[in-house]
Structure 1
């Protein structure tokens, strides 16, 4: 029997005339439950990340080894990421997430057991990181696209921004708590909390009212669905080139575990508590960036490209901060810029995709974003070991800046635009204008 109107009926979707506030998505009961469950789990995720990176550094003394850990965790996304998108488009996302969240909890408990018993070795951490990566192949596209199922298309950008704020808020707490735990009683407790924390999102998924979801039509089982998704993106230059830019930034710019570990140990000669503090400072800026994005309306691709360029330039500036206090003070700005780029890219790609293709498009986006880490992580780790943290971070920023400027020129050419520098009073600055404007002016 289909549900009648009342508590279990779906709320009316947001119309284009309603004003979106920072927390508009909280009016949706299913989203509120999801947000609370994710808050608990995200803290555990950040605790495990910090404990994992510090444990590898303690076992090996190498920034490259930390990069290898990140590479193994994200390698499955590079190899199999598109298949996860096919599953997200084909299967029930809620049931899929119940399985993936349980599997991730077991991975945290495994690391806790290995650490508490004193038998942990670096290859154990590598193995668990790789298993987490395999689960993420399915979890990421399902979790990203399930947001639309919870809130509908009108609130999608707002909900994506709030999810990012949730994740980054946990980054304020998780690293700080993990740093204290590692220094006081050892990293095993951080792994244990992470494993148990997945009880919260699993409970939230079970409590959801399925009649209040806005599920997209599932793709029917069939051959060629992977190729179909690739052809769809290939025929959409607005999506394709944005995904290319995301790939460069993810591969060479999002290597903060490597750089912050190296700066903490070899530049500032500090301990795990300082490492956690630096992560928390960066997270503070990320929360601000996500909340600001939640209030914004639609943004053009050029805004995302500009954010990538500013991000690259900011990395280069921060890398040469001469003192610890200045380095730490600049990290919130890096976090704000990072989240501005990430949220606008994610929401632009989701909103611009056909709902039936959204899982495959998002999986391709995530594949190049986090799947580039198996290449960029070890490479930037090796470079950081070879030339030092400052030059290593500066090189990553320079690559991001060059990629953003190059993409801007490509998009301008595709759109028939050219750069025009105006120095007249009242019109000073650099503008993109139609390529044929100069010829039209001359003819007139």
Structure 2
């Protein structure tokens, strides 16, 4: 019988992977706490919808401003040290925020400034962290490695962290951010234990180039690689269609479905529950189905989800749909990350990951803006119809190319990472 430790982090993935997993999970606990505590703090300081919304904008803006630069820098420096340094900045920013709160001098502008600086450091942490796994494990094990990292995000960031953050905020406004600072600092210690830190090279000394030159090199490689290029475009497109109704989900749930605030909270939690179920099933799915088949199923389920939300008026049905969304979204996220990591050379992992993330957040911004306008003009179900049509058209266009996207060749010569 397999032990829990072996199931969570199989020994074949190596010691470095376990340190990476521990660091990621610990950091996600802190970020999950802030997911609930940060909006509560901002709302306690202002009743301006614009300023409250500005707190959410601070999550996206750093990616659009510095995402590409973070990828280029991650490909030229010691990745472990970059993550440690960026996490140290995050911890110091949180300590400063706690100090302001304890002294009673914190203002909404201070909080927004802290959120922006924290978000900028997070861009470097998240981009660089995504490059470490391909350096640690065999290509054949990238799927299970990504699944375990995604599971930590679901459990800590989406499921366990927010309730803890709300509870700590009720005890005292500085407590959630103090605990978050401890989690981030502990993540620094854990990530310092890994040994694999530098991108592999071919042994030749490369001339120092400007960051913008490295960014252009990464974009040029992406554009000339049809499978990765198509994957990034698919992710951008589906994030636009997904974000359109998600931006008004609270109004859809409370007004159209009549679920109320508690029902809305349950609806958002349902996706985390579905994702947790998928964490247990991913290994079984990976062994029995090709990635191409699973990708088609996930994208088809996305189209069906939009249609179901557009048609239903039942909160119970919506809850079930959201659980299914959480399950297939977990599978899709794990597979798309794995496929990209298998296809991209080690020395370009940071740049291609950053382009992907800029596409993700760019899609969220575009989609939410479109969703707000569409809902204002045609009602709360209209964004779901927009998402259904847009996702369906995209699915038809990429149905055949998915075979080439998913067929990441596992080169025996590169299969042994380390």
Superposed, which structure 2 residues align to 1:171-190 within 5 Å?
171-181=158-168, 184-185=170-171, 188-190=174-176
The match for 2:209 is: 222
The match for 2:277 is: 288
Conserved? CA contact 1:41–1:198, under 8 Å: yes
The match for 1:193 is: 179
Match of residue 250, structure 1, among 220, 239, 248: 239
1:123-175 CA distance string (max 9 Å, x none) = 44543333233223322221001112233434222211110011011122112
Conserved? CA contact 2:245–2:371, under 8 Å: no
**Would you tell me which structure has more helix in proportion to its own residues?**
2
Q: Indicate whether 1:330 and 2:316 are aligned.
A: no
Q: Indicate whether 1:350 and 2:341 are aligned.
A: yes
After TM superposition, the score normalised by the length of structure 1 is 0.75
1:228-271 CA distance string (max 9 Å, x none) = 21121111111101100111222341578744544565554744
The match for 1:433 is: none
Whole-Å separation in 2 of the counterparts to 1:318 and 1:328? 10
Superposed, which structure 2 residues align to 1:156-171 within 5 Å?
156-170=142-156, 171=158
1:168-194 CA distance string (max 9 Å, x none) = 111221123234445x44654333322
User: Which piece of structure 1 moves more, 348-357 or 33-42?
Assistant: 33-42
Whole-Å separation in 2 of the counterparts to 1:233 and 1:113? 44
The match for 2:415 is: none
Classify the secondary structure of the residue corresponding to 1:140. Answer: helix
Pair 127,264 (structure 1): closer, same or farther in 2 beyond 3 Å: farther
Conserved? CA contact 2:127–2:353, under 8 Å: yes
Higher radius of gyration, 1 or 2: 1
Match of residue 404, structure 1, among 395, 400, 404: 395
Conserved? CA contact 2:267–2:319, under 8 Å: yes
The match for 1:71 is: 57
Superposed, which structure 2 residues align to 1:314-393 within 5 Å?
314-318=305-309, 320-381=311-372, 383-384=374-375, 389-393=380-384
Whole-Å separation in 1 of the counterparts to 2:245 and 2:85? 29
1:323-373 CA distance string (max 9 Å, x none) = 433333332211112112211111111111122222211111111112433
Whole-Å separation in 1 of the counterparts to 2:128 and 2:403? 35
Structure 2, gaps ≥5 residues long = 1-5, 406-418
Conserved? CA contact 2:72–2:214, under 8 Å: yes
The match for 1:7 is: none
The match for 1:80 is: 66
C-alpha deviation, 1:198, in angstroms: 0.5
Classify the secondary structure of the residue corresponding to 2:346. Answer: coil
Whole-Å separation in 2 of the counterparts to 1:128 and 1:387? 37
Conserved? CA contact 1:103–1:135, under 8 Å: yes
C-alpha deviation, 1:39, in angstroms: 2.0
Pair 187,260 (structure 1): closer, same or farther in 2 beyond 3 Å: farther
Whole-Å separation in 2 of the counterparts to 1:118 and 1:405? 56
The match for 1:131 is: 117
Conserved? CA contact 2:77–2:198, under 8 Å: no
C-alpha deviation, 1:196, in angstroms: 2.2
Whole-Å separation in 2 of the counterparts to 1:413 and 1:137? 31
Aligned Cα root-mean-square deviation (Å): 3.6
After TM superposition, the score normalised by the length of structure 2 is 0.79
Q: Indicate whether 1:93 and 2:79 are aligned.
A: yes
Whole-Å separation in 2 of the counterparts to 1:71 and 1:307? 28
Classify the secondary structure of the residue corresponding to 1:90. Answer: coil
Q: Indicate whether 1:49 and 2:35 are aligned.
A: yes
Conserved? CA contact 1:162–1:294, under 8 Å: no
Pair 202,113 (structure 1): closer, same or farther in 2 beyond 3 Å: same
Pair 51,279 (structure 1): closer, same or farther in 2 beyond 3 Å: farther
Whole-Å separation in 2 of the counterparts to 1:187 and 1:21? 38
Aligned residue pairs total 390
Whole-Å separation in 2 of the counterparts to 1:373 and 1:216? 33
Conserved? CA contact 1:101–1:198, under 8 Å: yes
Structure 1, gaps ≥5 residues long = 1-19, 416-444
C-alpha deviation, 1:384, in angstroms: 4.9
The match for 1:35 is: 21
